Amino acid sequence: MMHGTRSAVGALALVAALAATAGAARAALPVEAVDHIQIPPLNVAALAAEDLLRDSSGEPARFAVPHAVIVTPATDGTWEQLDNGLSLWRLRISSPGAPSLNLGFTHYWMPPGGALYLSATDGSYKLPPFTAADNSDHGQLWTPVVLSDDVLVTVQVPTAVAHRLILELASINVGYRFFGATQDKAGSCNVDVICPQGDPWRDQIKSVGVYTLNGSWTCTGAAINNTAGDRKPYFLTANHCGINSGNAATLVVYWNFFSPVCGQHGGGSLSQFQTGATWRASYSSSDFTLVELTQNPQPAFDVYLAGWDRTSANPQSSTCIHHPGTDEKSISFDFQPAYTTSYGGTSSPGDGTHIYVDWDPTPPYWGITEPGSSGSPLFNQDKRIVGQLHGGPSSCTSSNKHDYYGRLSVSWTGGGTNSSRLSNWLDPLGTGATAIDGLPFNLQSGLKVTPYGGFAPAGNAGGPFSPSSVVYTLQNLNATPLSYQVTKNVSWLSLTNASGTIPASGTATVTVALTAAANYLGNGSYTDTLVFTNLTDHDGDTTRPVTLTIGVPTLQYSWNLDTNPGWTTQGQWAWGTPTGGGGQYGSPDPTSGKTGTRVYGYNLNGDYPNNMPEYHLTSTAIDCSQLTQVRLKYWRWLGVESPTYDHAYVRVSNNGTTWTTVWQNTARIDGGSWVFEDLDISAVANNRPTVYLRWTMGTTDSSWQFCGWNIDDIEVWGLAPSNPPLRRGDLNCDGVVNFDDIDPFVLALGGEAGYSAAYPACHWMNADCNQDGTVNFDDIDAFVGLIGS
């Protein structure tokens, strides 16, 4: 097995593919000539039977089945060069009869001037283009659904920069219900939010969105306000919907998906969406998860940040805004006082974690919740969120129309850590507020700053970086002038027009650009925060993140398992050669590894047993202290029953005690082939000296045995630091020469060993300021002359 060459080989293959098209086709080929991936139709009846079990066990609603692939423009698709200086790459994907398809790109970086387009092959459905503005820190792009069974993927990029395109398709997700499908529609008793009953709740309605996760699950959530009023795009949903640090980047939120006509229960538009998020906190007892969306919602979406109430008071009346069956947005009412109980219980107060709501059965206020509504907010009589939907038996046809909502008052302190409570996120100022109102994401007065996104340049050490600058427009929404100030904290950024006065209803522009100092930074991820301050009345004060990424992740550690790495095993976990046994259900084990003959597997001679607890395979400690953007990659041959019954997990820890789940089976997996997995573990592993990997088999129920885990060719990738280019006088390697370099310069005069121990990522020879090839006291005068250069 070859290691450490994947990125280089991919880049060379892409250059070769582009070169092969030079002088070839000068106009787009007919779509029939484009490379075509075809996925067989799904067994919808079998999936429906699984969904009945999933829904009854409280799992998130599933709408699509993922198919793992590894597709890049270097290895698949069709390249063409056009006459206008552009290169065109296209790939056709289809699965007959599917109501929708969506795609998961685990690597996405679009060069300036390029764009990715997704559309139905016949042109009947199109998504807006994805561009360099969609490049993100997590490096992924998970797309909205395309309502077609035949999709055309198109990349158009200037030929001069086409070699810088990074695109890897890892998951083709084939829909079978909900989005675009005719079966499993929401019940007729649901009340469309466009109906008159929704009029008093127009702001709160705009806070609620339906979302997809991993391209295959769906739930509801709500944008939520915080005490700083800084309009951070926090999004509250349910823990059981499955968002974690490893998959938050796959989130796709749809705003304003509602029926245009009261009672239509259809006809809504999925055109307003955004992709990606960062996981912030979860707590299973109250079933909450909070994420921060990667980008701010676009102004045209008119999103509202809902208020909240963290007191233990029960709602005197309750309102839920949700997406039943992922269909158009609905609203439900209960005009009786709710009460506190346990999840699934009826006695009060129970364990105090949930709110019990029984929906009003009387028209015209009749309304309930359904699969897909999970995670939707519960508002009290003051129009503030007090919880999010965990589950319940409610449906249009059920005799029991009650639901359970995880209490925000319990989630506030959660498990006592920042990653298991809401308090430090929703009250970042530590005000102690017990309730706050919502506010529009779009400002109505004060200072408005656009674009809403941050500044995320990237490139190799020494530059160039793209984009190299961004222009922010500052708009005064007041009828009187206001003064403003923009600040930053690092030397590798410059600000143009950083302060001034904006006339009434006027605008100003501020340019944020990289300085030459960025060229002297080594590999790594560098961050700063731009602070926009309204000096007149602070209305609209806001921030924008800056992330400068230098270098690309490369292979850091690998285990091809030809030899035993000596990891800790429990139960029937073992290193060795699988025998091809098992397969009571699904496929049997393989008879060799993906490469070579050896694997780590659970029961190398057959299936896992019934009624087993969790058993773990755990790696030795892995040093990631110098790494960022850490990812785990491996090949698996796995058979496991639906998670209603049996479980398989991948977990990561940075202390060997607290474990974060980054992958789990979300459906039955039959095995039968090797499947590549690429998991983002950066939230746990970045800059950590002891990182542990864990594969878990179990728990299992009392029937149906599958072959379980077989694992091979395990890799850890990350972005490692590098020595920045030489720059005379810059002894602390911050890209500039100033008074901060005096102490490290003095240290350098004492010898290379002491200096290098204190500044391992810098060059000792930066102290050779007179360029005579040595570092000594003769460099002092030259160093003084360089200060401020």
C-alpha pair distances (Å), 413 with each of 221, 387, 410: 20, 14, 6
Query: Which residue has tokens 């008071």?
Result: 313
SS3 sequence of 662-721: EEECCCCECCCCCEEEEEECHHHHCCEEEEEEEEEECCCCCCCCCCECEEEEEEEEEECC
CA distance 316 to 199: 20
CA distance 71 to 171: 9
Find, among 266, 264, 256, the residue nearest to 195 by Cα. Answer: 264
CA distance 136 to 251: 13
CA distance 650 to 247: 12
SS3 call for 235: strand
How much helix, strand and coil, in percent to the nearest 5, is found in the chain? 15, 35, 50
CA distance 224 to 499: 31
The verdict on whether 240 is a catalytic residue reads: yes
Whether 291 and 237 have beta carbons less than 8 Å apart is answered as yes
What DSSP state is assigned to residue 488? -
Active-site residue, selected from the candidate residues 240, 322, 323, 390: 240
Say what the alpha-carbon torsion angle 258, 262, 265, 269 is, to the nearest 10 degrees.
-30
C-alpha pair distances (Å), 510 with each of 16, 106, 444, 498: 41, 33, 21, 6
For the chain, the residue count is 789
Tokens encoding 110: 């679009």
Q: In a 10 Å sphere around its CB, with 0-12 CB exposed, 13-18 middle and 19+ buried, how is residue 592 labelled? A: middle
Whether 639 and 583 have beta carbons less than 8 Å apart is answered as yes
Preceding omega of 699 cis (within 30 degrees of 0):
yes
Find, among 161, 110, 116, 162, the residue nearest to 132 by Cα. Answer: 110
Whether 275 and 243 have beta carbons less than 8 Å apart is answered as no
CA distance 611 to 568: 22
SS3 call for 545: strand
The verdict on whether 646 is a catalytic residue reads: no
Find, among 717, 718, 716, 711, the residue nearest to 561 by Cα. Answer: 711
SS3 call for 20: helix
Whether 352 and 238 have beta carbons less than 8 Å apart is answered as no
Active-site residue, selected from the candidate residues 134, 184, 192, 287: 287
Tokens encoding 138: 């997590």
Query: Which residue has tokens 């049996």?
Result: 646
CA distance 74 to 72: 5
- Please state whether beta strands 36-38 and 86-94 pair in parallel, antiparallel, or not at all (unpaired): parallel
Phi/psi for 672 (5° steps) reads 95, -10
CA distance 259 to 328: 6
What would you report as the CA-atom Rg of the chain, rounded to the nearest whole angstrom? 28
Active-site residue, selected from the candidate residues 148, 285, 374, 419: 374
- Chain center to CA of 602: 30
Whether 678 and 106 have beta carbons less than 8 Å apart is answered as yes
Catalytic residue annotation: 240, 287, 374
